Amino acid sequence: MKINDLLFKLPSAASSVPTPRFINLRESESSELQTGSIASELTQGLTAQSAALSPKFFYNTLGSKLFEAITVLDEYYPTRTEAGIFQAASTQIASALAQTGLNDPCLIDLGAGNCAKALALMPVITPRQYVPVDISADFLRDAAGQVQNSFPALDIVGVGMDFSAGLRLPDEVQLHDRVYFYPGSSLGNFQPAQALAFLRNIADKAQGKARGLLLGIDLVKDTATLEAAYDDALGVTAAFNKNLLRNVNELLAADFDVRQWKHVAVFNAEHSRIEMHLEALSDLRVTWPGHSRHFVAGERIHTESSYKYTVESMTDLLKQAGFSQVRHWTDPQQWFAVFWAAA
């Protein structure tokens, strides 16, 4: 399928843009809450000796909008740097995918958000089917509709799901010639062992069904640049971090007061990761049904780790996961890398 067949043309009065199919696997969340799986996960994190919450709880509707704002901040280089790589290396990326034997693939966009990154790739990959996947189902539904407006002929299947616990796509997703797209260095949110398991899962799915993975990864660089990217002068990232507590209040019926917490972002050189925390400004107590926790002033809740890799370490990880062909492209400063890993 050629890109000209997909591109948006102004519809005539008699025509209409189709509505993308949307499968919300998160509709079971209410039953999960009733059975206690989400409440149990949150309670376990909040009552641990060192409190910690998964970054997946950032992404309610407001959190997704705040992250969208973060990506255009001066300090937040990953989005624009990655986009620059895709633009500069588009011909080489298209050639690498063609060498793998792709023919009108299914583009599976993991953590799709507003789908902007995939939109920029459409002329390169020319997919037959586009499958945006995101934990924020309502936000994704709107974004998928915008993609359909631009590409009326494209088969779109939006999937609302938490794929961090496992990637089981519905039957509506094209089985063969799948290209997994995981941009924005989101893989860095996994601990290295978890990242390896996640990549192995994709590599296993690629055998006979997919061609590979197009992956964006943030690279190790100076501490000042890294920390500024996660602690911007406008305080948007701070609001994004604190909004996690608002989401926990809703999911857990807790009574966090975001005014009692401050945002902290530091680079942990030993583990090669940015850490985001929420730090109590004073002694306080948080309660939720059946539980409570006292926090002393200065005590922190660990909300995110974002691991930074080198080209060599990520290449090794992809090969350990089972990908046999690995190529990469970087920006001139070598701040960021895009990898194509074929099964």
Provide the total of helices (H) and of strands (E) in the chain, helices listed first: 12, 13
Under 8 Å between Cβ of 71 and 240: no
Flag the least confident range among 5-14, 19-28, 113-122, 332-341: 5-14
Under 8 Å between Cβ of 118 and 129: no
CA distance 111 to 108: 10
Per DSSP, the three-state class of 300 is strand
Does pLDDT of 47 surpass 90?
A: yes
Phi-psi region of 115 (alpha: psi -120 to 50; beta: other; left: phi over 0): left
Say how many Å lie between the first and final Cα of the chain, rounded.
23
Q: What domains appear along the chain, each with residue ranges and CATH number?
A: 20-25+71-221+309-342 (3.40.50.150), 50-70+223-307 (no CATH)
Instruction: State pLDDT tens for residues 226-249.
Output: 999 999 999 999 999 999 999 999
Average pLDDT (146-162) is: 92
Phi, psi for 10 (deg, rounded to 5): -60, 125
Confidence at 266, pLDDT banded by 50, 70, 90:
very high
Confidence at 336, pLDDT banded by 50, 70, 90:
very high
Confidence at 208, pLDDT banded by 50, 70, 90:
low
Query: What's residue 7's pLDDT?
Result: 46
Q: What kind and span of H or E run contains 287?
A: strand 284-288
Q: C-alpha angle with apex 35: 31 to 38, nearest 5 degrees?
A: 85
Instruction: State pLDDT tens for residues 163-205.
Output: 887 788 898 998 778 999 999 999 999 999 999 999 998 888 7
- DSSP secondary structure, 143-183, as one string: HHHHHHHH-TTSEEEEEE--GGG-----TTS--SSEEEEE-
Confidence at 217, pLDDT banded by 50, 70, 90:
very high
pTM: 0.88
Residue appearing with tokens 């002068």: 233
Query: What's residue 206's pLDDT?
Result: 59
Please state, for a pLDDT cut of 70, what percent of the chain lies above it. Answer: 91
